[in-house]
Amino acid sequence: MLSAVEKLRAAADDGQREYRVEELAEAAGITARTLRFYRERKLLPPPRREGRIAWYGDAHLARLRVIAELLERGHTLGGIAELIGAGESGRDVAELIGLEAAIVAPWSDETPVRLDWEELKATFGDQLTEENTAESIAQGYITVEDDGITHVSRRLMDATTALVAEGVPLSAVLEASRRTREHVDAIAEIFTTVVAGQLLGALSADAPLPPGEAARLTERILRVRPLARTVADAQFALAMDRRVHAEYEELLRQRRLEPRAGGEGEDACGP
């Protein structure tokens, strides 16, 4: 199925077909009254007039499909009018829609997993407490139904069950999750601030975007997204190296200071 962007581009060469009001409304899946309302709100370019008859082309149909798609995304008609007004042609609108899609596209690709209460009890035993359940809900990881729960991420759920199986209490896993979330939220804020300030500054300007700028910004965002994940992953790995080495050195230091059989401190084993 073609996206609205593709439909707009396919309709760039308009004039292939013309529609009367009722025909265009039927093709777009709306009423003629709605079509006229859109025209009054200047969401549609003027039709070609032949006497008292208004003729619309494929570009008008493409514009109506864009409006429908934006409405489904939660845009208001006023917001759609501003978006359309930012460009002078359907292709410009398509570029702006593509930019919006690149900005708000999800970073996560997690698969939810559902478990019934019997599965949860078999996995967590007496650690399946009201307190742990409430903490999981508070962190936004699970939703509870009468017959079980749905976790937002199979990967996180698998990691949690593996840690519990290794002997880490569920409460400790949830506490670590809560603290980790605070830090990753701060990391995400740093990245979004950099991107918004350094790459998307033109969007906050009062002047409209120059022709083609939306497409250039879209390409830049698509290039930067994987770089941000790479930086975060590399920084975490380096931080773990530093932390593990520091902890290991501290462990060795403590062992050297521990009293040993037959005496105290390091002198007990001396000559």
Kindly indicate the confidence band of residue 200, based on its pLDDT and cuts at 50, 70 and 90: confident
Residue 47 clears pLDDT 60, i.e. is over it = yes
Q: Give the H or E element holding residue 143.
A: strand 142-145
Q: pLDDT tens digit string along 181-195?
A: 999 999 999 988 888
Q: pLDDT tens digit string along 72-116?
A: 877 788 877 877 766 544 556 667 777 777 887 888 889 999 999
Q: pLDDT tens digit string along 206-233?
A: 666 777 787 888 888 889 889 998 999 9
CATH number of 107-199: 3.30.56, 1.10.1200, 1.20.950, 3.40.50?
3.30.56
- SS3 at position 88: coil
Q: pLDDT tens digit string along 123-172?
A: 999 999 999 999 999 999 999 999 999 999 999 999 999 999 999 999 99
In degrees rounded to 5, what are phi and psi of residue 86? -70, -20
Burial class (CB in 10 A: 0-12, 13-18, 19+), 133: middle
Locate the domains of the chain by residue range.
Answer: 4-104, 107-199
Token pair belonging to 200: 């998307």
Q: Cα–Cα distance between 21 and 165 in angstroms, integer?
A: 66
pLDDT of res. 78: 80
pLDDT of res. 80: 79
Q: What is the CATH number of domain 4-104?
A: 1.10.1660.10
pLDDT of res. 1: 42
pLDDT of res. 72: 83
pLDDT of res. 12: 43
Outline where 16-153 has alpha helix (H). Answer: 21-28, 32-40, 58-72, 77-85, 90-104, 117-124, 130-138
Average pLDDT, the chain: 83
- Same CATH fold, 107-199 and 4-104? no
pLDDT of res. 257: 86
pLDDT of res. 171: 97
